[in-house]
Amino acid sequence: MTKRISRQFGLRACLATATVLLSTLLPATVRGQAVVNPANGHLYEFVAVPTGQPLLSWSEATAYATTLVRNGLRGRLATLESESELAFINANFSVSGGTACEAAWLGASQVAGSAEPSGNWRWISGQSVATFGWDSGEPNNFVQDNIPENCMVGRWNGDSTLAWHDMTCNPTTVDDDDHGACLLVEYEAVGAAAIPTLDEYGIVLLLVLMAASAAWALRRS
């Protein structure tokens, strides 16, 4: 009897630990409707952090996007490298229509040590950022509290046109156009990259298996 109670206690502790760790590793988010771009076969989706939840830094958003999968396609922060791709987003999403956020992280940042404000901006794909998508007066590296603006968000102008803005990479409030509360995710198949790999989030998968195994063992005990 003592061994059985001890075993049940250990399984419950394992289940509780796995559940807590999962809740801390995966941020709570609200996912929108994904729309496919027929020109490249990629899916696009706005993902929001619920009101009251911690904001995501650009690095956190970049990492989180890679854990998302839609229709077997792996997610990443969107890289709007062509005018036609940006036009597709503008044609299919809007704030007024409820399909997008007021401001969302995009997959571009400025290489450290580059000339401000416009030097050496690059997409996470490695491609240089062109000039067509910047809003008027952007990028401007509007420094507050000695914190430079080295990461990119897409911000809606008049609820109809998405334009690029440089912003601080680690937001602390929602005062700056709600950046950090939303990200634009792009899904594409790149070889085997659409399949979750141990290198990227094997810890999460392991915790899921731990929780499932513990729950199954408890039902049988």
pLDDT in tens, 113-155: 888 887 889 999 999 999 999 999 999 988 776 788 899 999 9
Go through the chain and tell me how many residues it has. 221
Per-residue pLDDT band for 197 (boundaries 50, 70, 90) equals very low
pLDDT score for 162: 93
pLDDT score for 11: 47
CATH of the domain at 85: 3.10.100.10
pLDDT score for 46: 94
Q: Are residues 25 and 36 in the same domain?
A: no
Q: In the numeric block, which tokens belong to residue 136?
A: 């008027």
Q: Are residues 57 and 157 in the same domain?
A: yes
What Å distances lie between residue 53 and 48, 77, 108, 172, 174, CA to CA?
Answer: 10, 20, 24, 12, 11
pLDDT score for 9: 47
Per-residue pLDDT band for 22 (boundaries 50, 70, 90) equals very low
pLDDT score for 212: 62
Which residues form the domain of 212? 1-31+194-221
Q: Are residues 165 and 57 in the same domain?
A: yes
Q: How far apart are CA 216 and CA 48, in angstroms?
A: 33
| CB atoms inside a 10 Å sphere around CB 208 | 12
Q: Are residues 152 and 80 in the same domain?
A: yes
Residue type, 11: L
Q: Are residues 48 and 94 in the same domain?
A: yes
Q: Are residues 48 and 124 in the same domain?
A: yes
pLDDT score for 29: 61
pLDDT top residue among 156 and 204:
156
Q: Are residues 105 and 203 in the same domain?
A: no
Q: Is 9 exposed, middle or buried (0-12, 13-18, 19+ CB in 10 A)?
A: exposed
Q: Are residues 75 and 13 in the same domain?
A: no
Domains in the chain, number = 2
